[in-house]
Amino acid sequence: MFAFWSIAALLVAATLGALLWPLLRRTPRGDAPEPDAAAIAVFRDQKRALDDEYAAGTISAEEREAALGEITRRLADEAIHAPAPQSARSPLRAWVVALGLIIVVPGAAFVLYQRLGNPAATTVAGLGAGHEVSDQQILAMVDALAQKLKQRPDDAGGWVLLARSYRALGRFAESAQAYEHAETLVRDDADLLADYADVLAMAQGKQLAGKPAALVARALAIDPGHKKALALAGTIALEARDYAASLDYWHRLAAQLPPGSDESREIADVIADVESAQRGGKGSSDAGRRTQQAQAAPAAAGPGAGSISGRVDLSPTLVSKVALNDTVFIYARASEGTRMPLALLRIPAKELPRSFLLDDSMGMAPGVKLSSAPAVIVEARISKTGSATPQPGDLFGRSAATKPGAAVVNITIGQVVQ
């Protein structure tokens, strides 16, 4: 943050210098020559003409000296009686204008940045300056963003960022409130509506019935092929035991996934479970479990430069050390430099093994994107306390450095934090 404001101050100072130098310097600028310069030029021309006449023998040395003395006296007289230039006649006015610029330019720059810029980014920049970002720093960053948005209630991007940050921290009720505010500012956005429905369902005990279902319907009305909305709609229909509608949604989703991908196989398992439930078989309970795991898979299809996907597994030797209510953090960070998460996903341990997708929408700070890093490392950590800061006894695993856009990043949680 200090570096940002230092650079901003230097830019303002450079701007003031460019404005004040021509205003305050004594030599006036312009295309017209100064009066003294013009008189001297005339004197030189006349002297040169006298020298030429003397060399040609047209005039004598006495005549040359007399004429030269007359020219010199006339030059001195013009210099004494010449009017002062405008800048010399009005020094007070120039300084008043200069003082006004010194006050107005920095003030205007600050006001415009507050209105048009992103002040929250300076807070984030300060937090990301070190190599470690503590749980307290992340919480402080999110709380600072929430406070700034109270003063800027029309900042749609800020509210979406706050909602995603709360979602990553598992604060689903607060995330839903932020999404609700963002939804009043951003109309007809299928991504926002699907995310809002998801966190609202989490906030009300993983129940999609009611308002979450209405939000999903609106998202599909805007984008009938929206992957996350299709997965949510398939789950809603399954909860209502409308197996035909559920299968329709899941088949529409499966048609958009790359054949043979992990996501495609996972959705195929969901479809098989729903078909079994439709026939009255034992797959009804499995279908509900699989649909919860599959809801994150749709967006993982065909990751672009701003996303990375894969699968997290737990080593069999550590299964006995994991409780179902433990928290799993899956996050990507730059392979070099700051360790601030570029994208973060938080899930309960009972969902392992789990396919995952991390993308630019899951960032913890404005302007801090997964796609901006040349290489990232994906880590998965099981926390007993739910803290984002590693604690002794936590279980973890990490990938090798890989470029954003990778689609097969497999991580096995098999180590213990010492």
Q: pLDDT per residue over 170-187, tens digit each?
A: 788 998 999 999 999 988
Whether the per-residue pLDDT at 207 is higher than 70: the answer is: yes
Domain shared by 186 and 292, yes or no: yes
pLDDT digits (tens, 9 = 90+) for 68-119: 666 666 655 555 455 544 444 456 566 666 666 666 666 666 655 555 555 5
pLDDT of residue 31: 46
Give the CA distances from residue 299 to residues 114, 169, 304, 369, in Å, rounded to whole numbers and listed in that order.
35, 20, 10, 17
Residue at a domain's end among 271, 300, 329: 300
Same domain, yes or no, for 269 and 169? yes
Residue 325 lies in a domain: yes
124 domain-assigned: no
Does residue 383 share a domain with residue 402? Answer: yes
206 and 335 fall within a common domain: no
Query: Where is average pLDDT lowest: 164-173, 317-326, 363-372?
Result: 363-372
| pLDDT of residue 316 exceeding 60 | yes
What is residue 32's predicted lDDT score, i.e. its pLDDT? 45
Q: Compute the mean pLDDT over every residue in the chain, rounded to the nearest whole number.
A: 75
- For the stretch 278-287, pLDDT in tens is 887 544 445 5
Mark whether 92 and 71 lie in a shared domain.
yes
Are 59 and 152 in the same domain?
no
Which structure tokens are listed for 327? Answer: 């928290």
Residues 191 and 219 reside in one and the same domain? yes
Q: Is 122 a member of any domain?
A: no
Using the 3D structure, point to which of 300, 329, 350 is the last residue of a domain. Answer: 300
Higher pLDDT, 178 or 355: 178
Mean pLDDT of 316-327: 86
pLDDT class of 239 with cuts at 50, 70, 90? confident
Q: Quick one: pLDDT band at residue 360, thresholds 50, 70, 90?
A: confident
User: Could you tell me if residue 387 is inside a domain?
Assistant: yes
Q: What is the pLDDT of residues 193-206, one digit of tens each?
A: 998 998 898 888 87
Residue 124 in this model has a pLDDT that exceeds 50: no
Residue 128 lies in a domain: no
Instruction: Note the pLDDT of residue 123.
Output: 45
Query: Which tokens go with 19?
Result: 């404005």
Give pLDDT, residue 336. Answer: 80
Query: What digits encode the pLDDT tens for the residues 144-171?
Result: 888 888 888 888 888 888 888 888 777 8
* pLDDT confidence band for 215 (50 / 70 / 90): very high
pLDDT of res. 8: 64
More confident residue, 319 or 129: 319
Number of structural domains found in the chain: 3
Q: What is the mean pLDDT of residues 310-315?
A: 88
Residue 224 has pLDDT above 60, yes or no: yes
Q: Where among 300, 335, 357 does a domain terminate? A: 300
185 and 292 share one domain: yes
**What CATH number is associated with residue 272?**
1.25.40.10
Residue 413 has pLDDT above 90, yes or no: yes
Q: Is 414 helix (H, G, I), strand (E, B) or coil?
A: coil
Quick one: pLDDT at residue 23?
60
pLDDT at position 300 over 50 = no
The whole-number pLDDT of residue 385 equals 81
Same-domain status, 236 and 362: no
Q: Are 262 and 158 members of one domain?
A: yes
* Predicted local distance difference test score (pLDDT) of residue 397: 93
Q: Are residues 290 and 268 in the same domain?
A: yes
Instruction: Report residue 10 as tokens.
Output: 């230097």
- Residue 123 in domain: no
Residue 264 has pLDDT above 90, yes or no: no
Q: What is the DSSP letter of 326?
A: -
Range of the domain at 109: 2-116
Flag whether 242 is in a domain.
yes
Q: Which residues contact 48 (CB under 8 A, 6 or more apart)?
A: none
Domain contains 126: no
Instruction: Give me 153's structure tokens.
Output: 């209630």
Q: What are the angstrom distances between the C-alpha of 144 and each of 123, 137, 149, 150?
A: 8, 10, 9, 10
Rounded to whole angstroms, the Cα distance separating 149 from 143 reads 10
Write the pLDDT tens digit of every residue in 17-58: 666 666 666 544 444 445 555 556 666 667 777 777 777 777
323 and 232 housed in the same domain: no
Can you give the pLDDT at residue 179?
A: 92
DSSP H helical ranges for 280-378: 283-294
> Distance between CA atoms of 237 and 248, rounded to whole angstroms?
10
pTM of the model: 0.52
CB 311 within 8 A of CB 345: no
pLDDT tens, 381-396?
Answer: 998 887 777 888 899 9
| Residue percentage of the chain with pLDDT more than 70 | 63
Overall average pLDDT of the 241-258 stretch: 87
